[in-house]
Chain A
Amino acid sequence: MEFKVEAHRIMSISLGKIYNSRVQRGGIKLHKNLLVSLVLRSARQVYLSDFYSGACLNAQSEREGKEWDLIDSEREKFPPATEECNQTEETRQNDQPPINETVEKADDEEVKPDAEHCTPTPEEQSQNSSSDLADRVSSESSVPDAIKQNQESPTDSTNATLGESRQPQKTHVCTTRKRGAEESERDDAPQKRTKVNVTSSNASDDEESEEMDTGNVSNLITIFGSSFSGLLSKDGAKPEAEAQDSDSGSGQICCDQMLKNLNPWSTAIVAF
């Protein structure tokens, strides 16, 4: 689907901008990064909703087969993290550095809470899975957190509270990944391929912003994962407004239609 490609492209560009803003002269500009994070959030919503809307459409016709497709492609996005969840403490620490390097450029502090909470129990997953997806669809990028933390770290002591508030949602994200991990025994080849991609792109730090393949981008987004709850409340109001609007029929902005479709599909996702 071209919407997905477009949304993914915008997400990669946005992440690249956020990375570049950290190394540019004059320090991080709060206004620009806020705007970029808004775009990132919108693109992510479209990307994920497009993804799930495709899955729901297919589910009506061929439920069984397409379910596995959904989980396959989900696994495709998240295998490195899946590895992370599957492994024991020791081996997980070994795997952390490659993933950390990817994320480190953007934020050092967020990966550690992620690792600590990557041990949810499997029994939670069946209860949480549906709410997970809804959470993820509507949860915001916490990339601005990183930026604000950097700006304020000497003067502001919000780091601890930020870490805590993020933890519950990180658990949810991890749970969903784990569900995908259960299916992973079926097919190891895609995992390995994606994992190799991750490590190879980590090797060249300079080119990191350019070598954002699907796995990296999705990793970064899920690891940034949660909470930007102010945007969350704004976002909650938005889908309702869009659902009320009639279709303008302007195909020019293709994501327009995806944003409008977001609301009906989110109810389908909850049921799913």
Chain B
Amino acid sequence: MEEESDCRKINNSFLRDHNYATEADIISTVEFNSTGELLATGDKGGRVVVFQREQESKNQPHRRGEYNVYSTFQSHEPEFDYLKSLEIEEKINKIRWLPQQNAAYFLLSTNDKTVKLWKISERDKRPEGYNLKDEDGRIRDPGTITTLRVPVLRPMDLMVEATPRRVFSNAHTYHINSISVNSDYETFMSTDDLRINLWNLEITNRSFNIVDIKPTNMEELTEVITAAEFHPHQCNTFVYSSSKGSIRLCDMRASALCDNHSKFFEEPEDPSNRSFFSEIISSISDVKFSHSGRYLMTRDYLTVKVWDLNMESKPLETYQVHDYLRSKLCSLYENDCIFDKFECVWNGSDSVIMTGSYNNFFRMFDRNTKRDVTLEASRENSKPRAILKPRKVCVGGKRRKDEISVDSLDFSKKILHTAWHPYENIIAVAATNNLYIFQDKVN
């Protein structure tokens, strides 16, 4: 599919002029809200930047609703756990939007230990004409007041303010890797390596543990939870993925503690592919329900798999993201790249899936036509408003002109986080500290 690169090369740090990326600016999560009007990014420095799509104007039909910065705030600060002598990183691991119920926007953001509910609201009017205080806010001497007046609301410059409304803390011993809002819009769950907790959005001092896979003897630990998500429509159903490559579907109606799964999805390992690193590359880094709720998508290091909820024995479809890396697993282990956690996303109609790779490449797979494309998010290789050119990685043999050989891939440029607009063909791609937004070609 052809794309016009709207190439909003929005750098998250607004105060610097340098070109190099400081670690705090590395984007760690990207998420559209449920209408696609807002796009939130979280970074390693604990900040959240929210972009808003501008209204389409008839005057400039070719500028079809570009995204501009709407609000920036510091969500999490670095903390220190004195009991364990551990520093808690402020990096935002996940952001999830709540559905909009009034004029304000709500999102959940989490670091390794604490989930926060933020309210983002606009203020464009200001009351003027108080009796007891003057315009600067200073209290007037009551003796000087001779008349009474009614304060009125006057328009002011638009101000967007973000306030923390709830803080959900002290519920996780291990690092939180996922949060997911339930379709009942009353509860959400937070997941760490060994436990999943269920919260009510209104109550911060209590949470319920619904999954606990911690063995009594930690020596017997063999797998950890890597991601979890609620079903998009059934508020009693959720799935969680493990480091062993399996997915469990649980029904909260069955029991209070969902240690026993209702469904277990696992594909038997291919014995011809065994190596030292088989366990690492089979660990699932992301799991996403389709919008319809009928399918599941999982991402492990080399593949993306689509599962039918009704078939547990094997995935419906398997897509190779970058199989040319299979022979390089040892070097990828040495430079820690093998531990990278790639995410995957569905498009609005569940017909196309997208995930990231190295060298600022990202891949899209069309489930119906079985075609796939590799695209690159980089300033150097594409001009604004130019159509993105498909890229190809050459796997040994003769390298053609536009191809890149596996050995010249830049493994420090990785695309771990991407997002797809819920209805339209607009995608947001996070490449280290840069955010790229691409749209469909305008005819």
- Nearest-Cβ distance from residue B212 to partner chain A, whole angstroms: 14
> If the complex has contacts A27-B87, A35-B243, A39-B276, are A13 and B334 also in contact, measured as CB distance less than 8 A?
yes
B173 touching A151, Cβ below 8 Å: yes
Q: Which chain B residue has the least Cβ–Cβ distance from A254?
A: B275
Report which of B87, B89, B224 forms a contact with A34, defined as CB distance below 8 A: B224
Within 8 A of B (CB), among A230-256: 230-231, 234, 241-242, 245, 248, 250, 252-253, 255-256
B271 touching A241, Cβ below 8 Å: yes
Any chain B CB within 8 A of the CB of A227? yes
A151 to B81 CA separation, bound complex (whole angstroms) = 11
Report which of B175, B223, B280 forms a contact with A27, defined as CB distance below 8 A: B175
A30 to B221 CA separation, bound complex (whole angstroms) = 10
B87 touching A26, Cβ below 8 Å: yes
- Nearest-Cβ distance from residue B323 to partner chain A, whole angstroms: 13
A230 touching B215, Cβ below 8 Å: yes
- Nearest-Cβ distance from residue B82 to partner chain A, whole angstroms: 10
B219 touching A35, Cβ below 8 Å: no
A242 touching B219, Cβ below 8 Å: no
B271 touching A31, Cβ below 8 Å: no
Within 8 A of A (CB), among B324-378: 327, 330, 333-334, 336, 339
Any chain B CB within 8 A of the CB of A162? yes
Any chain B CB within 8 A of the CB of A145? yes
- Nearest-Cβ distance from residue B299 to partner chain A, whole angstroms: 15
| A46 partner residues in chain B, CB cutoff 8 A | 276
| A242 partner residues in chain B, CB cutoff 8 A | 271, 274
A145 to B215 CA separation, bound complex (whole angstroms) = 13
A231 touching B222, Cβ below 8 Å: yes
> If the complex has contacts A10-B330, A42-B276, A155-B173, are A31 and B193 also in contact, measured as CB distance less than 8 A?
yes
Any chain B CB within 8 A of the CB of A111? no
| B87 partner residues in chain A, CB cutoff 8 A | 25-27
Bitwise, B219-248 to A at CB < 8 A (1) or not (0) is 111111010000000000000000100000
- Nearest-Cβ distance from residue B24 to partner chain A, whole angstroms: 12
Any chain B CB within 8 A of the CB of A103? no
Report which of A26, A43, A152, A161 forms a contact with B89, defined as CB distance below 8 A: A26
Any chain B CB within 8 A of the CB of A193? no
On chain A, which size bracket covers the interface? 35 or more
Report which of B88, B220, B224, B271 forms a contact with A26, defined as CB distance below 8 A: B88
B174 touching A165, Cβ below 8 Å: no
- Nearest-Cβ distance from residue A142 to partner chain B, whole angstroms: 7
B243 touching A13, Cβ below 8 Å: no
Any chain B CB within 8 A of the CB of A154? yes
| B219 partner residues in chain A, CB cutoff 8 A | 142, 144-145, 148, 162, 165, 227-230
Any chain A CB within 8 A of the CB of B83? yes
B333 touching A25, Cβ below 8 Å: no
Report which of A26, A234, A252, A259 forms a contact with B222, defined as CB distance below 8 A: A234
Between B218, B220, B327, the greatest number of chain A beta carbons within 10 A of the residue's beta carbon is seen for B218
> If the complex has contacts A13-B333, A30-B193, A242-B271, are A43 and B276 also in contact, measured as CB distance less than 8 A?
yes
Any chain A CB within 8 A of the CB of B43? no
- Nearest-Cβ distance from residue A255 to partner chain B, whole angstroms: 6
Any chain A CB within 8 A of the CB of B112? yes
Any chain A CB within 8 A of the CB of B217? yes
A227 to B217 CA separation, bound complex (whole angstroms) = 11
Secondary structure at the B interface, as helix, strand, loop or mixed, is: loop
B218 touching A158, Cβ below 8 Å: yes
B217 touching A161, Cβ below 8 Å: yes
A253 touching B274, Cβ below 8 Å: yes
- Nearest-Cβ distance from residue B287 to partner chain A, whole angstroms: 15
Any chain A CB within 8 A of the CB of B154? no
| A43 partner residues in chain B, CB cutoff 8 A | 276
A148 to B216 CA separation, bound complex (whole angstroms) = 12
A74 to B111 CA separation, bound complex (whole angstroms) = 47
Q: Which chain A residue has the least Cβ–Cβ distance from B272?
A: A248
| B334 partner residues in chain A, CB cutoff 8 A | 13
> If the complex has contacts A25-B87, A27-B88, A35-B339, are A253 and B275 also in contact, measured as CB distance less than 8 A?
yes
Between A35, A153, A165, A250, the greatest number of chain B beta carbons within 10 A of the residue's beta carbon is seen for A35
> If the complex has contacts A13-B334, A26-B88, A230-B215, are A34 and B277 also in contact, measured as CB distance less than 8 A?
no
Q: Which chain A residue has the least Cβ–Cβ distance from B329?
A: A253
Any chain A CB within 8 A of the CB of B432? no
Q: Which chain A residue has the least Cβ–Cβ distance from B243?
A: A31
Within 8 A of A (CB), among B43-63: none
A152 to B177 CA separation, bound complex (whole angstroms) = 18
| A165 partner residues in chain B, CB cutoff 8 A | 217, 219
A229 to B221 CA separation, bound complex (whole angstroms) = 8
14 contacts between A and B (CB under 8 A): A27-B88, A38-B279, A38-B280, A42-B276, A144-B219, A148-B221, A152-B173, A152-B218, A228-B219, A228-B220, A229-B219, A242-B274, A245-B272, A253-B275
Besides the contacts A39-B277, A241-B271, what 8 more A-B pairs have beta carbons closer than 8 Å? Answer: A13-B334, A27-B81, A27-B88, A38-B280, A42-B276, A144-B219, A165-B217, A228-B221
Q: What 7 A-B pairs are tightest by C-beta distance, nearest first? A: A230-B220, A26-B89, A27-B86, A148-B218, A230-B222, A248-B272, A253-B275
